[in-house]
Each structure stands twice: as C-alpha cells, then as structure tokens.
Structure 1
Amino acid sequence: MTTADTSRDLFTQVLDPQNRIDPYPLYRTLREHGPLRLPELNLTVLSSYRECHDALRHPLSSSDRHTSALAQQQIAAGEPPRPFGLAGLVDRRRTPAFLFLDPPDHTRLRKLVSKAFAPKVINQLEPDIVDLVDGLLDTIEEQGRFDAITDLAYPLAVAVICRLLGVPLEDEPQFGRASALVGQSIDPFISLTGETPEGFQERMDAGRWLRKYFRELIEHRRGSPSDDLISAMIAVEESGDQLSVDEIISTCNLLLIAGHESTVSLIATAILAMLRAPAQWSALGADPHRSARVVEETLRYDPPAQLLGRIAAEDITVADHAVTKGDTMVLLLGAAHRDPAANERPDEFDPDRKALRHLGFGHGPHFCLGAPLLRLEASTVLSAVTARFPHARLAAEPTYKPNITLRGMSALPVAV
C-alpha cells in the first residue's frame, strides 16, 4: 500500500462511526504515521499536539471557509461552497458566526460580543445552576438510577442556555430538540467527502427553525428588553458600532453549540471517567474543590470537541510540515491530547497530574468565549452528583452518537 493509500484508509477510519466508542487506538496510529495528506481533497490531517498547537497559533491559519482551495474552485464554477459543518447553516448571503471569520471582521465581532458575555453575566447564573442541579438530583434520588445524558446533563444544559439567551420556559422543549440537531450538523462530511450524511435535511430544517426563532425573539427584545444575553447584544455598542440582526443570530447559534452540546458531552464524559476510576469519584465527592481539576483533565483526556478546522491562507509550515495554500487542515484534538510528547501517561485519567496541556477551548484569537460557562456548569454538577451518590456505579456500558466533531454519548446508565 502506498503512502497515499494509507492516508486515505486512515482518514476513512477517522470518519467511520464504528470508531466513536474508542477512537484513541486509531489516534495513536495517526500520530505515529504523521500528517495525512489527501491532495485530491486539498486536505491535511494533523494529529500531534505540536502540529495542532502550531496550526492554531499560525498567523496564516484561516478560519474563513471561503479561503479554501475547494471553496474557491466551487465559487469559480458558479457553485456555492460545500458547507463545512455549522457554516453550512449559514449561506453566503448571511453573516457567519465569528468562529468562521478572520480579522478584522472576527476582531470586531468578538469584541462586541465579549462585552455582552462578561463574567458578571455568567456569575449571575450560578445560583440558578445550583438550584437546577439540586432539583435534578432530587428526582434521581427518588428513582434510584439515572441516565447521565437524559436525566442530568441534557436538561441542565438546555435550561441554562435558554436562561442565558432569554428563551421562554414554554419554548425550552422545542428549542432543546432543535439545538440537539444543530449540534449534529458541524461534522465536516459534506465539504470533505461530497456526501450528504443521513438526517442532514432534518438538521438543516432545525437550523432554519432556530434562525427564524432567534429573529422573532430579537424583535421582541427590542421592544421589551430583559436581563438576558440577546438583550445585551442588542444594546451593546462600541464607538457607534453595533451588532446586526444576522450577527446576533449567528452568534446565538455559535453559543448554542458551546453552551449545549459541549456541556452535555463534558459532563457525561467526566462521569464515565470517574465511574471507571472509583477512587476519583470518591475523592471529588469528599472534596468539591477538586472539580476544576476534574474538568480540565476531562477536557484533556476525552474532549467534547474532537477536531477543529483551519485553512492555510498561504503556503505555510506547521511543526516542520509543509501545508499548501488553500488546504483545509483538520486538527484532531482528541489525538493531540493523548500525545505522550505533551502529557505524561496520556491514556490515564488523572486529575492530580502535575502538568496538563490541552486545546479543548482552542487557542489564540478564537479561544472559546463559552469556556467560563462550561466550566461553571460542569464543576457544579460533578461536585454535586459525586457528593450526593457516593456509591454510584455504571449500570451498563454507554452508547455513542455518530458525531465526530463533538463526540458524545447518547446514553450512560448509572445506578446510585
């Protein structure tokens, strides 16, 4: 088998849903192989920590999908670029979320949004999060068992993001269903393979429904402001600048992913890791101050965001490897975090490790704005559930969704 054949075979395995349960042996093979080069797809796949870190911090590493060679070919042919995940929910006539922009547009939007996403906004949510967690755990205690997804992580994450954005209580169920579908839409299958995944139309419909919902909510908040993030984004202003309706909608979609899917996955993954290492479950239950270390180690050990995409704006060198202008770089964060060159004993879940390196929230200008909220929710629920149920144990093995970008479980049964 030629090197090109090996690269194609390994990349096919990365996309294969059968590898969601435990992708880490495959990631080890990828790191040992080195970057995968697929010229026919204008694609480079990076898997070591150094490669991913360097790609994220490189000044010519672009987040704008329209800079890719494939997108330029499609535009030249009069075709709209194939959607790369969440960007596919926003056509070229609309404003993409600042996650998919480069400076100066990214700088402007992030600066405006960050004013509305200030720490005081997040801190004001803490009492509500504590109350929500306590209520969910009360119900679980009566049942004697729970599913970490449907009974704990999911209802908490949906309730919090709805309160943050100002979604009325009666709309939460439909909003939650739509947001879950949008979370499945960020996998890069179409742009990389040209194939439409099963259920894609349903996810596109959910994205359109959310855009319409946000547009109507924004109009309502203009006339009746409230103490929520949408009202804050409407009101924010910097030297006469402000956010347009499309910019607010795109930002809401982005925060929805950061504040919902990632949170659900992180909470469930941390619960699973500790149940498989009972001493860690007991240690956190006895000392809630350990929660921050548990969260950071989970982000390293089994991160919700398994990959990120960047584009080489020019011919560049990443960790001594040449990347051609226009190539899409797929950064396998899940592989990078288990790189022994970055973290000792990388396959061991150890919140007490002395040195820890991860890229779970990205790096540089695109560092995740939702990081403080995710950390707050996860720390609160993990310290509470371990203290309330010191003898919890796995009731059955978890099942996983087919998602690759935001890898997560669909069920995690726990007996208490």
Structure 2
Amino acid sequence: MTTLDLNDPDFVADPYPVYAWLRDVEPVHYSAANDLWLVSRYDDVLAVLRDAPGFSSDLGKAGLDDNPFNPAIRIPRRLARLLDRLPPVRTLLTSDPPHHTQLRRKVAKAFTPRRIAALEPRIREITERLVDDLDDDLVRDVASPLPTIVIAELMGIPADRRDDFKRWSDELVNGLLTGGSRIRMARSALAVSWFFARTVRSRRHRPGGDVISLLVTRDQDGDALTLAELVNFCILLLVAGNETTTNLVSNAMLALFDRPDLWRRLGTDPDLAPAVVEETLRYDGPAQGLLRVTTAEVRIGDVTVPEGARVLPLTGSANRDPRHWADPDAFRLDRPAGDHIAFGSGIHYCIGTALARLETRIVLETLARRHPHLGPAGVPERIQSPVLRGLRTLPVTIRPTVPGTGGLPGRAAQIGGRNSSVR
C-alpha cells in the first residue's frame, strides 16, 4: 500500500483490512491525502488518548483552512485569520484543561448514572411505539427517531420541533464529515444556534427539570456557562447523541443479522443484550477515530511526529488489534466488559455512554422479543465517512421462519461482518 485516502469509498465500506495492514506494516502512518498521522495499534491509541497535554483536543491549533474528513469544506484563509482573532468558544470536545475540566464538571450533573437509569421506563415506552410502526427500514423507523425523541425530551423541547432537530443534526454531520452540502450545513448551524440561544435565555428566566435548565444554573462557586458555551454544548448533545445511538443500533443489527443463532438466543434470553452492545462497540463501533493535535514533537513507537501535526488515533483499529484481543475479527460475547475504547479514554471519555448503551440495549431487547423473524431485505446505505461507522438505511422484512433456514432469511452475510463466528 503506497497511498491511503480515508475518503476512498472502498475504505469507508470496509476499513478493517486496511487497519490490519497498518497495524502490521505501518502502525504510525502519514496519510498525505488527508494530512493526518494515523495511529492503529491498541497500546499506541490508548497512550495518545490518555496524553491530553501531548495530544491536544483544541483543533484550532492545527489550522482552520481545511477539513480532513470532508475535502469540500475549505475555509478561506482571510476568514481563518479573522476567526483566529476572535475569543475562543470552549466546547467539551475541543478544549483542554483547565477549560475542559470546568466544562465537564458542569455538564456531568446532567448525565449521572441515577438520572440516566431513571429514563429507562420512558425509553421503553418510546421504543415500543416505534416498533409498533416498524415498516421496512430499521434506521428510518426505529434507530434514527429514538435518540431524537429522547434528546428532545431531555432538553424540554416541544414535540413539534423534533423534525427540525433531526434535520439540523443530519445536515451538520453530513456537511462536516460525509461530503454533504456546505450550504445546508451553514443554514442548519445558524438555525440550531439561534434556536438554542433563545431556549437558553428562556430557561434562565423560567427553569424547569430539563437538561438545559440544569446547565444554566450556577454552581455553588457561583460560576455559570456563557451563552456561547451553552449553545455549543446543546448542539454537541443533539448531534453526538443522535449519531452515536443510531449507528450503534444499526451496527448491532448487522452483526445479529449475520448470526441467526445469536439472534434466536437473544429472543429467548434478553440478558444477552448488554454483552451484544459491548461487543458491537468493540467489533464495529459507531466512531472509528478521534482527532488530536500534537503540542510538541513526539515519538510514537519508532516514528517521530512533528509539533502541530494532526493525529488520528484509530479506535476502530485498536479494538481489532490481535496484540490485545484473542480472535479479534470474531464477534464474541465472552470478552471482558468495557475493555474496548469505542468511547475513547482519559479525560475526553464520552459523557453520554450510559445513555447510548441504555437506548441500544432496549431496542435490541424489544426487537428480539417482538420480531424474532426480523431479517434483512436489501442492501443498506452506509454513511460515507471514515470516522462515523453506521447506516443511513437498513431495509428489513418481518416474516415467519422459512423451514430449513434456521429462523432468518439468507444473504445476511452480504451486509454483516466478514467473520460470522460467535461464542
């Protein structure tokens, strides 16, 4: 392999053979096409993620003139220089300590284990209703609307704005990461920012029990998030919450469709659902990499990476590294729980993990119980992104068992993984 372009359609369709080559041949690889240093082995990826001082999350330090995941997004240099002069807007994903520490402390109160666990009855109610209306596309009918509804309710957003929520989220993600329309992305960015700015102002005057009301209240030390910080966190919660859960559900169902024995076992033993969620996160996680910027020249393995370089630790590759995992390309339920790094590691470990796990587990339990003969009905449409791993569509059919087929329609392997073994 002489060149590697992360935006190549073949790589997006199946990155795992490329990951294997990287781990064996060039575990720290410079991609000139994307101007990125790719880190692929488990130990190296983990070290990068946990070294916040050496690998900054402040992506402004890498320059603003291009987007490595959507080459169509290029900010004119004059505009980039103007943005450099403006006061920085802190976000949870793109800040370093001490700012990150302050932000995370304030928003963590909205995602305590007790608060998330209390959502289970309502999430089950929403899921049952969506499964009632399941027609012929699992993403469109269940996996996509569920997190939108849950997040909207968490934020205290009226039900009649849910379609706006989903459209804004999709257009922001498409514009930033999948080669979508820059015009639509810009329009949605303005619309969602204005919407949340008005909502934040309203909650400051009339707080309630929703997440935004929790965020606008002052801490005991008297500190409060600025309007810009609040708006940015609301956008992050909308986008990340929607995309992560939708992709996790679709990836889990692909794995299950390719393993009919496991699907049948899940229908009779719903206690398997948490293990299926965890193995999906390792085997085919919804996020494949997390961008960082070096703050000084650094040595990774045998390679010297310069200061100011953009580094992409490939969590999707790390989670299939045979140096850490036995039989890494097999889908197995007997692995140590939580040993994967699908949600990152260190200070930037995803704050919404409990919610994503809960929503996905409930969907799997509900579908396995109510539709034991659910199966694939066509070729799904994959998200065209090197860092987001999931589906835009997943055609399905609800039909009885065909004698002799073992309970599911054939051809599941067309959309599942390469290795269909399970233990």
- Distance in 1, matches of 2:218 and 2:272, equals 36
8 A contact 1:337–1:357 mirrored in 2: no
Residue 55 (structure 1) aligned with residue 45 (structure 2):
no
Aligned residue in 2 for 1:166:
156
Aligned residue in 2 for 1:112:
106
Once the two structures are superposed, what CA deviation does each residue of 1:337-357 show, in whole Å capped at 9, x if it has no partner?
111112111111122335773
| One of 19, 23, 44 as aligned partner of 1:27 | 19
8 A contact 2:250–2:394 mirrored in 1: yes
| One of 15, 18, 37 as aligned partner of 1:44 | 37
Aligned residue in 2 for 1:296:
278
Normalized per residue, the structure richer in helix is 1
- Distance in 2, matches of 1:117 and 1:356, equals 18
8 A contact 2:56–2:294 mirrored in 1: yes
- Distance in 2, matches of 1:61 and 1:354, equals 28
The aligned amino acid for 1:32 is D
Residue 279 (structure 1) aligned with residue 254 (structure 2):
no
- Distance in 1, matches of 2:230 and 2:336, equals 41
- Distance in 2, matches of 1:91 and 1:233, equals 28
Aligned residue in 1 for 2:385:
403
Aligned residue in 1 for 2:204:
222
The alpha carbon displacement at 1:42 in A equals 5.7
Within 5 Å, which residues of 2 pair with 1:349-360? 349-353=331-335, 357-360=339-342
The aligned amino acid for 1:51 is D
- Distance in 1, matches of 2:55 and 2:335, equals 31
The aligned amino acid for 1:177 is R
CA RMSD of aligned residues (A): 2.6
The alpha carbon displacement at 1:217 in A equals 1.0
Within 5 Å, which residues of 2 pair with 1:96-175? 96-140=90-134, 143=135, 146-175=136-165
- Distance in 2, matches of 1:137 and 1:339, equals 36
- Distance in 1, matches of 2:254 and 2:242, equals 18
| One of 212, 217, 223 as aligned partner of 1:235 | 217
- Distance in 1, matches of 2:172 and 2:301, equals 34
SS in 2 for 1:95: coil
The alpha carbon displacement at 1:104 in A equals 0.5
Tell me which moved more, 40-49 or 369-378: 40-49
Once the two structures are superposed, what CA deviation does each residue of 1:226-269 show, in whole Å capped at 9, x if it has no partner?
22100110114141111111111111111122210010000011
Q: Tell me: CA distance 1:285–1:30, structure 2 relative to 1, closer, same or farther (3 Å).
A: same
Tell me which moved more, 312-321 or 230-239: 312-321
SS in 1 for 2:369: helix
Q: Tell me: CA distance 1:356–1:218, structure 2 relative to 1, closer, same or farther (3 Å).
A: closer
The alpha carbon displacement at 1:138 in A equals 1.8
Structure 1 unaligned residues grouped into runs of 5+: 84-89, 190-196
SS in 2 for 1:349: coil
- Distance in 2, matches of 1:131 and 1:40, equals 47
- Distance in 1, matches of 2:81 and 2:377, equals 45
The aligned amino acid for 1:65 is L
The alpha carbon displacement at 1:121 in A equals 2.7
Q: TM-score, normalised by structure 2?
A: 0.85
The aligned amino acid for 1:37 is Y
> Taking every aligned residue pair, what percent have the same amino acid on both sides?
35
Once the two structures are superposed, what CA deviation does each residue of 1:130-157 show, in whole Å capped at 9, x if it has no partner?
00111112223xx5xx311001101111
The aligned amino acid for 1:181 is E
Tell me which moved more, 60-69 or 307-316: 60-69
Q: TM-score, normalised by structure 1?
A: 0.86
- Distance in 2, matches of 1:341 and 1:295, equals 23
> RCO greater where, 1 or 2, for CA within 8 Å and sep 6 or more?
1
Once the two structures are superposed, what CA deviation does each residue of 1:299-321 show, in whole Å capped at 9, x if it has no partner?
11101111110111111223443
Residue 365 (structure 1) aligned with residue 365 (structure 2):
no
The alpha carbon displacement at 1:38 in A equals 4.9
- Distance in 1, matches of 2:130 and 2:377, equals 19
Q: Tell me: CA distance 1:198–1:171, structure 2 relative to 1, closer, same or farther (3 Å).
A: closer
Aligned residue in 1 for 2:167:
177
Once the two structures are superposed, what CA deviation does each residue of 1:352-385 show, in whole Å capped at 9, x if it has no partner?
3357732111100001101011011011111111
The alpha carbon displacement at 1:96 in A equals 3.4
SS in 1 for 2:293: strand
Q: Tell me: CA distance 1:354–1:373, structure 2 relative to 1, closer, same or farther (3 Å).
A: closer
Runs of 4+ in 1 over 6 A off after TM superposition: none
SS in 1 for 2:164: helix
Once the two structures are superposed, what CA deviation does each residue of 1:267-313 show, in whole Å capped at 9, x if it has no partner?
01101100101111112221222111111100111011111101111
Tell me which moved more, 347-356 or 213-222: 347-356
- Distance in 2, matches of 1:60 and 1:317, equals 11
The alpha carbon displacement at 1:333 in A equals 1.6
Q: Tell me: CA distance 1:217–1:356, structure 2 relative to 1, closer, same or farther (3 Å).
A: closer
The alpha carbon displacement at 1:43 in A equals 3.2
Residue 16 (structure 1) aligned with residue 8 (structure 2):
yes
Aligned residue in 2 for 1:264:
246
Report how many aligned residue pairs link the two structures: 388
SS in 2 for 1:98: coil
8 A contact 2:174–2:181 mirrored in 1: no
